[in-house]
Amino acid sequence: MARKVVGVGSVGTRCWILLMLGRDESDPLFLQVKEAQTSVLSPFVGASTYANMGQRVVAGQRLMQATSDIFLGWQRTEAGLDGQQRDFYVRQLRDWKFSFTIEALIPRGLRLYGELCGWTLARAHARSGDRIAIAAYLGNSDVFDQAITRFAIAYADQNERDHRSLVDAVNAGRLTAASGL
């Protein structure tokens, strides 16, 4: 078992990697045990219906994923090393993430990549709601399509303005920046 440093959204939470062996040393299974805390949305939408925050995370993942990890589960420690009750979720540690080198894509490839990413995200969100109710709400017009397009363009424009401000601040010496390359 080893402690793992987690991403920005999970800073300050506990996370471990467990190595379990099957028949022999050539049959490893890596599991991630990650702390699940109260949702950041709870002040706005109310407390979760789940008593265990690990179960809340697992339920959300199972809802959005077409096929969930067979090891996906949750656990509560009544008193950890610090004496505090904590909720965790467990999943197989396996990096299934895949991406392309975006900078190397030609315009047609970049467009296709964007469409695939959008389709994947839409599919996950569609699994989390009532697709018939959503379709009925949206209707047959392109009003929603046009609204989301305007939002996306405005968001992209804001990102460009923010980046320009950052570059200007660095060039003026108001900020110090270092390349990660």
Sign of CA dihedral 77, 80, 85, 88: negative
Structure confidence at residue 31 (pLDDT): 94
Indicate whether 121 and 77 sit together in one domain.
no
Q: Which residue range forms the structural domain that includes residue 139?
A: 102-171
Structure confidence at residue 97 (pLDDT): 67
Indicate whether 61 and 130 sit together in one domain.
no
In a domain, 36, yes or no: yes
Question: 1 with 20: CB under 8 angstroms?
Answer: no
Indicate whether 15 and 65 sit together in one domain.
yes
User: If we measure between CA atoms, which residue out of 53, 93, 94, 98 comes closest to residue 74?
Assistant: 53
Q: How far apart are CA 35 and CA 12, in angstroms?
A: 10
Residue 169 has pLDDT above 70, yes or no: yes
- Provide the number of structural domains found in the chain: 2
In a domain, 47, yes or no: yes
Structure confidence at residue 89 (pLDDT): 96
- Provide the whole-model pTM: 0.61
Mean pLDDT of 47-72: 90
Indicate whether 84 and 120 sit together in one domain.
no
Indicate whether 85 and 63 sit together in one domain.
yes
Model pLDDT for residues 10-21, shown as the tens digit of each residue: 778 899 999 999
Q: How far apart are CA 164 and CA 123, in angstroms?
A: 34
Structure confidence at residue 26 (pLDDT): 87
Write out the two tokens for 51: 């008593």
